[in-house]
Amino acid sequence: MNDFLTSLPREAVMTAALGAAAVALAVFFLLYARQRRVCRQIGDLADRMNVCMEQLRTAETAAEYAGLWQQMEDDAEAIAAWQGRIRLWDRSIDLAAGRQRVAQLRENYQWWLRDAMERQKDRALHEVKTTYRNSAQHKAAIYGALAEDWEGVSHLFSPETARFADGAMEEIYRAAGAGFERCAPFIPAPRPGEGSRSAAVEEKLAWADRMDGREFEYFCADLLRRNGFTDVDVTAGSGDQGVDILAQKDEIRYAFQCKCYEGDLGNTPVQEIHAGKEIYDCHVGVVMTNRGFTAGAREAARRTRTLLWGRDKLAALIDGAE
């Protein structure tokens, strides 16, 4: 090879070397430009997430609060997905601090939700007692509008928030002088088996509610191991095709997607795990959550033969691991 190179004219060797260097430099700048573009996208997401964080504290309605929260969660997930795929060259984006703030917000989710509801209640009481004190029709409309707004986000309520909602609606009802139909209570009736959970299981469920997504995945993996599953493996997180955990039991291979949310899951996780199950050559796909599932998710699960493991199943696994 050396003899071949020395036999070439010096100008040809130099031209080839310069051409290779130019190609390498062009590739480098293309990659650098892509990294910078992605960093800008992450920066925009982080800025929007920070705006949502600030607005959460002053949300005027429960529905506004829930919408801001969902936007912030979506942006946080998008940032995490990008971070897993590229090396960040722009160190001005402090993603660790952003994740920490989101974790702190999760711990205070119900407190700030009740703050927004308190502001709604105070406005409704003011209108009932002053502006529309002589109009039974307007007072009934104010009461009904608030009940409808809160009903739309009631799936997000903790038991304490549900009790607050019931107390607030009763206060407004009495201030309005009654004369119209009360709304249904927000404190749900206990589901089968829920009332018989031990204090230890309830404590573990409350602990799980405060986890971030990755913590919840490892929590679920540990529960599976302690309930007889083998070859339990938590996937890398990036490029996982929607599968968070792979496991086996009785020669059946399972693919799990784990979601720790404040409310019920829709059909997107069902679609993702159905596709991911095929990619990982598993027999069964499972969506596992600390909450419940919407009607759309249940219908999608029925059509795709996906298992839905909600709060009751999670409690059973916790109980089985004790």
Comparing C-alpha atoms, which of 57, 319, 80, 46 is closest to residue 197?
Answer: 319
Rounded (10°) CA dihedral 149, 152, 158, 162? 50
| Per-10-residue mean pLDDT, the chain, length 322 | 55 61 62 65 73 80 85 72 54 56 69 89 92 89 90 81 88 85 72 62 84 88 93 78 90 93 85 91 94 88 92 90 70
- pLDDT, residue 62, reads 87
What's the confidence (pLDDT) of residue 179? 79
Spatial distance between the Cα atoms of 322 and 258, rounded to a whole number of angstroms: 21
Q: How far apart are CA 7 and CA 72, in angstroms?
A: 64
CATH of the domain at 290: 3.40.1350.10
Domain count, the chain: 3
Residue 215, helix vs strand vs coil = helix
Residues 161, 119 share a domain: yes
Give me the domain span that covers residue 125: 110-175
Claim to verify: residue 212 and residue 164 sit in the same structural domain: no
Is residue 96 included in any domain, yes or no?
A: yes
Same domain, residue pair 24 and 64: yes
Choosing from 79, 107, 135, the residue where a domain stops is 107
Whole-angstrom distance, CA of residue 247 vs CA of residue 86: 28
**pLDDT value of residue 201:** 85
What's the token pair of residue 258?
A: 């784990």
Q: What is the pTM of this model?
A: 0.49
For residue 286, the SS3 value is strand
Predicted confidence at residue 224, as pLDDT, reads 94
Q: What pLDDT is recorded for position 230? A: 93
200 and 316 belong to one structural domain: yes
Residue 316 contacts by C-beta under 8 Å, 6 or more apart in sequence?
A: none
